[in-house]
Chains A and B, each alone.
Chain A
Amino acid sequence: MTGRLIVEEERCTGCTGCMLACSLAKEGTFSLSLSRINILRNEEVADFRPRVCVQCLEAPCIVVCPVNALSRDTQTGAIHLDQETCIGCQQCIDACPYDGVRFDHSRGMPLICDLCGGSPSCVEACRFPQAIRYEKEVDKR
C-alpha cells in the first residue's frame, strides 16, 4: 500500500479548487461533474464536505463489481478501473459507504480515483487550507 487521501472536513472552504484540479488532471478539462471528488455543500451554513475515495483495504466497490472491472493496482495501491471491462452498472457507486465514487453519464462509466499515480492534483490545489492531505505508506485502514 502506498497511500490514501485524508480529508479534514472542517478545513474545507468549498472553493472547488480540488474538483477542478482533478478534472483537469484526469480529463484535461475544467468540470465539476467529471471530478472524482464531490463536495457536498450547504451554502446557507457554509457546510462543505468533500467526498473522496479513501482507498478502502477491503473495498466494497471491488467486491461488488459483477465483471471484475475494478482491481487494486499493485504499484500505487490505488483502485484501478478497467474501462474495457466496465459495463456501467453503477453497483460500485451504490456500494461505496463514503459517497466516494461518481458516475460519468456521457461515457457510462464510474470516475475512479487513482491517486494520480502517487502525486494527487487535488492535494496540490488544496495546499493552503489543507483540507485534503495525502498520506503515504498506510498499513491499516
Chain B
Amino acid sequence: MNKRTAADWCVLRVDLSRGTSSISKQNAKFLGGRGENHAVLLDTTPILPLSAGEAPLVWASGPLAGTGFPGASRMQMAARSPLTGGIGSSSAGSDFALKMRLAGFDQLIIVGMAASPVYLVLESGQAWIRNAKEIAGCSVSETDRWLRSREGSMISTAIIGPAGEKECAAACIMFDMGRAAGRCALGAVMGSKNLKAVVVKGKGEIAVTDPVQFDETVARVLKKIEASDVLQAIHRLGTMQVSPANVEPRCNFQAGVVSPEMNEQLNHHAFAPYYVESYGCQGCPVRCGRRYRVSKGQLAGMESTGLHANSVTDFGTRLGIGDPEAIIAAHGLCNDYGLDIDNTSGVIAWAMEAFQRGALNLKDTDGLTLSWGNTDAVLALLPQIAQRRGIGALLASGCVHAAAELGHGSEEFCITVKGQELEEALRPYKGWALGVVVTERGGTHTRGAPVLELGGEIPAEIAGRAGLPQISLEASTCEGKPEVVVYYERLHAVLDSLGVCYFISDWMDPGLPTLEDYSEALSATCGYDTRAEELLLIGERIHTLGRLLNVAYAGFSRANDYPPSRLMSSPIETGDVLSKCEWDRLLDHYYDLHEWNPVTGWPTHQRLVELGLDGYKWALNHKLEGLG
C-alpha cells in the first residue's frame, strides 16, 4: 500500500446487500468528519425510506484524526435518524479513528442490508464482510471478546448490542466498549442493516506536510492544556464536578432544584469510593473517562466505564435516584446492551411519570412499580427495553412513539426536542437553552450550547470572539446569547470535521486552543493555507448542511426549534420558566445571524448561493413541494 498523506480522503463504500465494496480517492470539500458525512447524505437522492435498510450510514474521521494532535480521536457517524426522522448525527472517541485511517480509509459509506448478521473488517486498504451469526444477540462485551479472539487484540471495535439488533430508539454504537456514539438511534440503523460490528486494524502510516511545524503546534497546544484549570480538574476528577450545581431535570423535568441531601449523595465525592481508574481516548492527555466498580452489597460486581456528568443526571436526578451504586449499575448495563444512557433514561422518566399519573399501571408493567427512585425497577427495565420484552416493547421506540401508542394524555410527559428525549437542564441558562434546542440532531448540547455558561456567565473573551463587546454575559440574560451560540455552532462544525474533541477548544476554557491553532495544525498536517476566519466560514457551511438535511428529511421548521412546553409553561421551585415571548426574540435574532428565513427557520436560497451551497437547493425545494 502506498504511503498516505493526512490530506488524502479515501472513501470506502460497502454494499451489504450485494456483498461488494469500492474505494475512491477524493478531495474533501468540507474538511472531513461531519462535513463530509452530511455532504454524502445530501448527495444521496432520492431520499430512501427508513424501513428499507437501503439508506446510507456514513462514518468518517477527519484530517487531524490519528495524527497525535491532542484530542484528535473522534469518529463521526451520520444517517437519517429512525428516532427523529431528521438527520441523525453522532460521534465518539477511542482508538478507532486512528486505526481506521492507518487501515487506509477516512470515510466509510455503508448501504444496503445483509441477509444475516455480519461484521466488517478494514485492514491495509481492503475490506472484508464476515459472518457474525455466532454473536447475534450477544452483549457488547461478549462481542468485543469474540472479535479480539478472532481478529487479534490490537484492533479497534465498533459494536451494537442487543438494543441495536432490535432497532431500539435508544440504540447506540459502542467504540472499544467504553465510548458511545449515543444519540439519534444510529445503533438501530446498524441493526437494520444486520451489521453487528466494524473492526479496524491499524497497520499503515500517514505522512504529514511539515513535521517540524506540527511538533511546534502540538507543543503549544499541550502547554495550553496543561495551563487550563478546567481540564486539570477534569483530568483529576472527570466531568462530574463540572455539572450544573443545583438545577437538574428532576423527575422528568417536573422539578429542578436538587435538595442538599441529594446533592451530597450524587456529587463526585460520593462516587470516589467506587473509583477504579481513569482512561483516555487515543492521543488525548486529558483522560476524562472514569471506570467505577461496586464491590459490596446487592450490586457487587457491577461496573461502568465512561461515567460522566450526564450519567448522574440520567440515572440520578431525572429518575429521582440518589444512589451512586444504582447509577454505576444502570450505566454499565446500558453500555453492555448498547443503549444510549440519555435516551434510555428519558423514556424511563416518561414511563415513571405515566405511572405516577395513572396512564400506566401494574398490569401494563407486569408488576414493576415504576415509582420515582425505584432502582430495582430501572435495572429490570433496561434488558426489557434492549430486547423489546414486556413493557420494554412499548418503551423501545422512544417516548414519542410510546405515548402515541399508549394515549391517556401521556403525550404531555414527553420531554423531547424534535422527537428526541431531552437530557439537559435548560431553564436558568439562556444561551445553553438556545444552543441545545436549535440543534439539528434533536436536542443535545454538542452544537452551539455554551458549556461555560453553566458556571454562571460566559467569559468576556468568548463574547469578543463571537463578535460582541468584550464583556462577560450572565447566564440568566438573553443579551448576546444567539451570537455565542452561532460562534460555537461553527466552531463545533469545524472540530467535528477535523476529528477533534470539543474539550480541546475554547468551548471548555477561553485559554484552550482556538481556530488559529487549528488553522496551523491543518497547515502542518495537510499543507492547507486556511486561515481562522476561513475555517469559521467552512464551519457555517457545514452547519448549514445539517439544517438542509432536516428540512429535506423531516420538514423541520421554526416550530421544531422550541423547548418542550413544560419548560415554557410550568415554573419550578426557582420560578424559572422559558417564556414564549423571550424565546421568540432569541430565535428571531438567531435566524437573523444565520441569514435564515425567520418564518420557516430554513436557510434562504440567497444564503445558500453566497455559501457556495446552491447545489443543495433541492433540499429546500423538495420539502416546499411536499408541503405545498
Residues of chain A having any CB pair with chain B under 8 Å: 13-17, 20-21, 23-25, 27-34, 41-44, 46, 121, 124-129
Contact = CB atoms under 8 A, between A and B. Distances in A.
A21 B70 CA distance: 11
Given A13-B280, A30-B206, A121-B215, A44 B222 contact: no
Contact of B235 (A32, A41, A128): A128
Contacts of A42: 153
Given A16-B282, A31-B102, A46 B291 contact: yes
Nearest to A130: B285
Interface of A is mostly: mixed
Interface of B: 3, 6, 66-68, 70, 95, 98-99, 102, 141, 144-145, 148, 153-154, 176-178, 202-208, 211, 214-215, 218-219, 222, 225-226, 235, 277-287, 291, 305
A114 to B, nearest CB: 17
Nearest to B4: A29
Nearest to A105: B203
Given A17-B68, A125-B218, A28 B211 contact: yes
B205 A15 contact: no
Contacts of A20: 66-68, 98, 283
Given A46-B279, A128-B235, 13 more contacts: A15-B281, A20-B68, A24-B214, A29-B3, A31-B204, A32-B98, A32-B102, A34-B205, A43-B153, A46-B277, A127-B285, A129-B285, A129-B287
Contacts of B176: 43
A43 B177 contact: yes
Contacts, number: 107
Contacts of A29: 3, 205-208
A44 B70 CA distance: 23
Contacts of A41: 153-154
Contacts of A126: 285
A116 to B, nearest CB: 11
B206 A15 contact: no
B211 to A, nearest CB: 5
B375 to A, nearest CB: 26
Given A29-B3, A30-B67, A14 B205 contact: no
B4 to A, nearest CB: 9
Nearest to A48: B279
Given A21-B68, A23-B205, A46-B277, A124 B219 contact: yes
A69 to B, nearest CB: 24
Contact of B283 (A15, A23, A44): A15
Nearest to B203: A33
A73 B292 CA distance: 47
A127 to B, nearest CB: 6
B95 A16 contact: yes
Contacts of B177: 43-44
Contacts of B207: 28-30
Given A29-B3, A41-B153, A46-B279, A13 B284 contact: yes
B145 to A, nearest CB: 7
Contacts of B285: 13, 15, 17, 126-129
A41 B155 CA distance: 11
Question: Could you say which of A24, A124, A127 has the most chain B C-beta atoms within 10 Å of its C-beta?
Answer: A24
28 contacts: A13-B278, A13-B279, A13-B280, A14-B280, A15-B280, A15-B281, A15-B285, A16-B68, A17-B283, A21-B218, A24-B215, A25-B211, A30-B102, A30-B205, A30-B207, A31-B102, A31-B205, A41-B154, A42-B153, A43-B176, A44-B141, A44-B177, A46-B279, A46-B291, A124-B215, A125-B222, A127-B222, A127-B226
